[in-house]
Amino acid sequence: MVMHIRGLDGNDPDPYVKTYLLPDPQKTTKRKTKVARKTCNPTYNEMLVYDGIPRGDLQQRELRLSVLSEEGFWENILLGEVGIRLRDLDLAQEKMGWFALGSRGHGTL
């Protein structure tokens, strides 16, 4: 569940979140939220679902979240990203928390 982002840098970006389960050479695990318009503190409350992946396989994966701003028809700007190693989480329990974005985003997700 992607809930909120706060404190993005930029001049009224149009942010969205893109996720992958790495490694993913064919990019079949790509998921995206809707675009939030003109905000540095968007709220999504969107569930991005991954079905059919064995639990043992998940322990070897990383969830990569990228925050991008939709700037034009084919142009998107990376605002920041974070990698979450799934072996560091108890996947049987719901976990809620903030994750600091790397790169130029300086926000938290």
**Structural domain includes residue 73:** yes
**Structural domain includes residue 102:** no
User: What phi-psi label fits residue 73: left (phi over 0), alpha (psi between -120 and 50 degrees) or beta?
Assistant: alpha
Task: Name every residue whose Cβ is closer than 8 Å to that of residue 62 and which is 6 or more positions away in sequence.
Answer: 21, 22, 83, 84, 85, 86
**Structural domain includes residue 43:** yes
**Structural domain includes residue 82:** yes
- What tokens were used for 29? 């695990």
What does R_g of the chain's alpha carbons equal in angstroms? 14
Q: How many structural domains does the chain have?
A: 1
- What tokens were used for 91? 């996947």
- Quote the CA–CA distance of 29 and 34 in Å, as a whole number: 17
pLDDT in tens, the chain (109 residues): 999 999 998 788 999 999 999 999 889 999 999 999 999 999 999 999 998 888 888 889 999 999 999 987 788 999 999 999 999 888 888 888 899 998 755 566 6
pTM score, two decimals? 0.88
